[in-house]
Each structure stands twice: as C-alpha cells, then as structure tokens.
Amino acid sequence: MKRAYRSIAIVDDAAVDRRFAMRAIRRCLPECEVHAFASATAFDEALASGTRPDAVIVDLNMPGLDGMTWMRRRARELAAAGCRVVTLTTSSDPADAEAARAAGASEVGVKPANLAALTDVIAALLDLPRE
C-alpha cells in the first residue's frame, strides 16, 4: 500500500540542493507541504516545537551535526511515530549506504545532477507511484 504524505522535511546544508529537492517533491506531490532546514540542529528545533512531518529526507554530509549522527539519535524515534526517514547524499559508497541504514534510514539515494532524475530518486525513496 502506498503511503500518503501531507508534509515532508528536507534537511540539507546546501541551499541549491534543498531547492532542487523541494522542486522534485512538488513534481511528485503537488499538494504536499515541504519544509526545508539548513541543518539537523534546525530540524531538531522544529521537532521540539511540534513539527511532525510524514517523511524526512536528510543529507549525510553536513557541517556540525551530520546526517548520520542525527539519524543515530532520532531516526528510530521518528519512524516509530510513523515518519519515514530516508537519506539523499552525494556519496555512492556502498559502505555509506549500509551505515545510513544501520543508523535508521529506511532508504538511501544518491543525488543525481538533474531534476527529472532527482524526481525519480525521491519517488523511489518515498515509494511513490511513478508516471
């Protein structure tokens, strides 16, 4: 059964990548609210204030609190509350993907270079129907 997403959070330190991911999500889910955070710390603050997305897409390589550390701390808690935690990263190293899954990511995707490919990757990560 496909999941319904009303709200998705993107956690990525790169503004260009956040905007790119927001556009891709809006192509897949035009009615979905998309919230972008420049750091895992900023996302944690939003969670503390009551933000509850249906899914979070987190980058692995960020300054400060990196995505891997953040997932080890929070991914299982969010997943238990029904939030799907996935990672989208520039790393194509299988060891990074394995470590991300061990840290709590349900899926791991590599950031592609164009919007159409990113839309396909996000659709696959979130188990969305394809056009």
CATH for 93: 3.40.50.2300
Residue 44, number of CB atoms within 10 A of its CB: 17
Query: Domain range holding 48?
Result: 7-125
Write out the two tokens for 129. 């129907």
Ranges of the chain with pLDDT below 50:
1
Question: Is residue 111 situated within a structural domain?
Answer: yes
Asked, for residue 90, whether it belongs to a domain, the answer is: yes
CA nearest 75: which of 63, 62, 57, 88? 57
- Look at residue 1 and tell me if it is in a domain: no
Q: Domain for residue 86, yes or no?
A: yes
Which residue reads 């791991």 in tokens? 108
What pLDDT is attached to residue 46? Answer: 97
Structure confidence at residue 131 (pLDDT): 57
Is 130 part of a structural domain of the chain? no
Q: Is 50 helix (H, G, I), strand (E, B) or coil?
A: coil
Query: CA 88 to CA 78: how far, in whole Å?
Result: 17
* pTM of this prediction exceeds 0.85: yes
Give a yes or no: residue 131 inside a domain: no
Query: Residue 18 and residue 38: Cα distance in Å, rounded?
Result: 8
Kindly state whether residue 56 falls inside one of the protein's structural domains.
Answer: yes
Q: Give the Cβ contact number of residue 20 at 10 Å.
A: 21
| Spatial CA neighbour of 38 closest among 69, 21, 15 | 15
The confidence score (pLDDT) of residue 2 equals 61
- Count: domains in the chain: 1
